[in-house]
Structure 1
Amino acid sequence: MIDLADQTSDLVTSKEARAGVGDSRALQRDAAAGRLVRIAHGAYVETGRWSSLLPSQRFVYRIAAAQRTAVRPLVFSHAAAAALWGLPWWGAPPGLVEVTDPAARSSRTHRLTRVHAQPLRDGDVVEHLGVRATVLGRTCADVLLDHPSLDATVVVDGALHAGETDPAGIAEFVEQRPAARAHARARRTLGFCEPGADSAGESVSRVLVHGFGFPAPVLQQPWRDTFGLIGFTDMWWPELGVIGEYDGDVKYLSDRWRRGRTPEQVVKDEKEREDRLRSLPEVRGFARWGTADLRSPERLRRILLAAGLEVGR
């Protein structure tokens, strides 16, 4: 596995320049000339490289910047640890890199980091990607306790989907946090999380469906016809005969989903797949939505109502 230093090998810092790797004043001049982007105090990346990165990748660079500019070792936690574990996040990642310091007297923020003054027990921390981070179960518990439920659902769904932890293990870490006023909310959110969600968009869709008062769907339902396996659908409401599919951009742009196909071929294959699903006698409605609909929930609600979903059924 490529460690964090290798992933961000083109990151340069003033701290390292002053130690003899380069000229810190040259970094400032290159930033002023537009050749470098200052991504954090004393940390720079080549402008073209930075502009090519996705928000999630930029967050990883900020984590690396925090590691390489710190005056003492850090333990990455919360959203930062979630990013290091490869867990999904909905929307833009947090602006600050979260770390946990049991020696801190109070939680505080610096230029680049948000320090959580919380205890760390044996088994809470592991070296991962060449840095110290909270273990997966503790990471999920921290997000459940200290971030909004929507963000926590996305992260925990992703962890459960990967099969590297389970609800009981996460719940144990939740209960270990002393005097956490958010315990009840964290337990409710954890109870809602499912391993069947295959993306952040699917997790957000499920949260919104629940908030609308629609019945809980079956996730990743397999479908077959006389020609064989059609595939798996994101959501299925058997009592109403409705299939729901979230179409994120990743389905058409990611190499993982395209498997060598062009975006045009993916669209064609999806149309053929939908036609086969609609032809099944038990399917009476079909809803398809995208990221823009999740950002305007009323649009999603109307799409689901038009497909045949009913509140309280």
Structure 2
Amino acid sequence: MPDLPTLLLARDCGLHALTAKDLSKQVNSGALVRIRHGVYADGPAWRELKDWQKYRLQIQAAAEMLQKPTIFARHSAANVWGVPTIGVRHPVQALALTNDGGRSRAGVRRHFAAPSGLEVVRRDGLLVTSRVRTVLDLAAFTPFAEALVPLDHVLRPGAVLRPGTAAQPSALSKDDLRAGIGSIHSAARQRKIHAALDFANALSGSAGESYSRSLLHVAGFEAPVLQQAFRDGQGLIGYSDFCWKRARVVGEFDGEEKYLKLEHLKGRTPSQAVVEEKYREDRIRALGFTVVRWVWADLMQPGRLERKLAAGGVPRRRARSAILDAQNVP
């Protein structure tokens, strides 16, 4: 994974013997990319970055150009904390501590926050909302399905951080998060937060698993068992991402990290990991389970995951009106 390229500020061009005309030529040729007014980065290095890394550079670029100290929040604070979120091309987001109607200026979307009780942390040289406040804000202001991803992440012990992010503090508890709600948000926003917190689960093994679980819940499927152990005559097969025991269906989310990242490969080559995963799936199928697999593209296309799960036999939740007391059934 490449390191983040150094930012080049237009105001410092004299130090590099560059003129405004030189900058324009290099941008037109692709040698440089303009991140925001007055801030540039190496073009080839930029094009190698993941979306979340590009977003991080946009946050840093804003911090370099804004004259007043800026407290980054919501998706921007989550990025600095190394907490995953759903979606790309989020605006740079920060707090406005005075409710003067100014919501967006200098390319930064601002959200009013009362300064009373606000906890601000300096991380990687940037001012950000605390980890608790960051995930609570996301739970309050993003759709339920998206809110589960950062919540599950901070609840999960030993969550894998994105490369290049500072060490993350220990896992939070639901009590830690509930204690942080207070009167920061309106009653309606608090209900959203509590609903997401009630559903959050530290057993979700990745952002993809968390988002999958929230989407299948919204689509009305029965809640699966997470990290179900499977054994056969040879011993432990492994743990499934999702399992519907009654329907004998196993669900597996395949993120690219499973086959590419060193911490998941554990000394194997990507091809060895693929072969071992296929062998593991065959052993689970031999126990009489259907295995349904999906990838990020299935999560990003509305309805695609729902169709896969339905075709695989994953049961829907029963409506209250369909739940009968066996003693009263004629």
User: What's the TM-score once normalised by structure 1's chain length?
Assistant: 0.88
Q: Note the C-alpha offset of 1:128.
A: 1.3
Decide which of 101, 104, 123 is 1:106's aligned counterpart: 101
Could you say which residue in structure 2 is the equivalent of 1:71?
67
Q: SS at 1:209's partner residue?
A: helix
Tell me the number of residue pairs that the alignment of Structure 1 and Structure 2 aligns. Answer: 303
Could you say which residue in structure 2 is the equivalent of 1:266?
273
The letter for the 2-side match of 1:130 is G
1:188 aligned to 2:183? no
1:253 aligned to 2:249? no
Q: SS at 2:258's partner residue?
A: helix
Q: Which runs of 5+ in 2 are unaligned?
A: 160-169, 319-330
Could you say which residue in structure 1 is the equivalent of 2:9?
13
Q: Note the C-alpha offset of 1:235.
A: 0.6
Equivalences for residues 45-194 of structure 1 within 5 A: 45-94=41-90, 96-122=91-117, 124-161=119-156, 162=159, 164-179=171-186, 181-194=188-201
1:274-297 per-residue CA deviation (whole Å, 9 max, x = no partner) reads: 1122223xx432211122222334
1:217-248 per-residue CA deviation (whole Å, 9 max, x = no partner) reads: 11122233333332221111122222110112
**Which is higher, the Rg of structure 1 or of structure 2?**
2
Q: Which runs of 5+ in 1 are unaligned?
A: 1-6
Maintained 8 Å contact 1:90/1:201: no
1:174-225 per-residue CA deviation (whole Å, 9 max, x = no partner) reads: 3331536422222212221111122222112112211222111111222333
Decide which of 218, 221, 225 is 2:228's aligned counterpart: 221
**For the structure 1 residues 22 and 171, does the alpha-carbon distance in structure 2 shift closer, same or farther, using more than 3 Å as the test?**
farther
The letter for the 2-side match of 1:143 is L
Maintained 8 Å contact 1:218/1:237: yes
Could you say which residue in structure 1 is the equivalent of 2:290?
285
- Computed over aligned residues only, the root mean square deviation of the Cα atoms, in angstroms, reads 2.3
Maintained 8 Å contact 1:247/1:288: yes
Decide which of 231, 240, 243 is 1:236's aligned counterpart: 243
**CA–CA distance in 1 between the matches of 2:86 and 2:238?**
25
Maintained 8 Å contact 1:75/1:134: yes
The letter for the 1-side match of 2:227 is Q
Could you say which residue in structure 2 is the equivalent of 1:3?
none
**CA–CA distance in 1 between the matches of 2:176 and 2:38?**
39
37-46 vs 205-214, greater mean Cα deviation? 205-214
Maintained 8 Å contact 1:88/1:199: no
Maintained 8 Å contact 2:96/2:103: no
The letter for the 2-side match of 1:14 is A
**CA–CA distance in 2 between the matches of 1:22 and 1:173?**
50
Maintained 8 Å contact 2:121/2:129: yes
Q: State the identity as a percent.
A: 34
**CA–CA distance in 2 between the matches of 1:286 and 1:63?**
41
Could you say which residue in structure 1 is the equivalent of 2:167?
none
156-165 vs 58-67, greater mean Cα deviation? 156-165
1:308 aligned to 2:306? no
**CA–CA distance in 1 between the matches of 2:298 and 2:4?**
34
The letter for the 1-side match of 2:149 is V
User: What's the TM-score once normalised by structure 2's chain length?
Assistant: 0.83
The letter for the 1-side match of 2:77 is A
120-129 vs 198-207, greater mean Cα deviation? 120-129
The letter for the 1-side match of 2:57 is Y
Could you say which residue in structure 2 is the equivalent of 1:32?
28
Maintained 8 Å contact 1:145/1:180: no
1:113-162 per-residue CA deviation (whole Å, 9 max, x = no partner) reads: 11111024456111112221111110011111222222211111111124
